[in-house]
Amino acid sequence: MKSMGKRRGFLNLQGYSFMAPALVVITVFTIVPIIAAFVMMFFKVDLLSDTWNFTGLSNFAKIFEDPKFWAAFWNTARYVAVVVPIQTIGAMVLAVLINSKIKFKSGILAVLFIPTLTSSAAMTLIFMWLFNNNSGLVTQMIYDITGMQLNFLTDPNLALSVIMTMNIFSTIPTFLIVFLSALQDIPKSLYEAASIDGAGNARKFFSITVPQLAPITFYVITMGIIGCFQIFDQAYIMSGGEGGPMNSTLTFTLYIYQLAFNSNDMGRASALAFILAAIIFTVSFIVRKLMKSDEVNG
Q: Establish if 48 belongs to a structural domain.
A: no
User: Where is pLDDT greater, at 184 or 71?
Assistant: 71
In terms of domains, do 26 and 157 share one?
no
Nearest alpha-carbon partner for 111 in 120, 122, 98, 121: 98
Convert the pLDDT of each residue in 220-264 to its tens digit: 999 999 989 988 888 899 888 888 888 889 999 999 999 888 888
- Read off φ and ψ for residue 51, nearest 5 degrees: -115, 135
Q: How many residues does the chain have?
A: 298
Q: Is residue 175 part of a domain?
A: yes
- For residue 297, is pLDDT > 50? no
DSSP 220-267: HHHHHHHHHHT--HHHHHHHTTS--STTTT--HHHHHHIIIIIS--HH
Number of domains in the chain: 2
Which bin fits 150, alpha (ψ -120 to 50), beta or left (φ > 0)? Answer: beta
pLDDT in tens, 99-154: 877 777 777 777 777 777 778 888 888 888 888 877 788 888 888 888 788 888 88
pLDDT attached to residue 275:
92
Tell me the mean pLDDT in the region 54-83. Answer: 91
80, 12: one domain: no
Is residue 237 a contact partner of residue 125, using CB atoms and an 8 Å limit? yes
Say if CB 61 and CB 44 are below 8 A apart. Answer: no
Q: What is the pLDDT of residue 298?
A: 43
The domain in which residue 31 lies consists of: 2-40
Higher pLDDT among residues 188 and 256, named by residue: 256
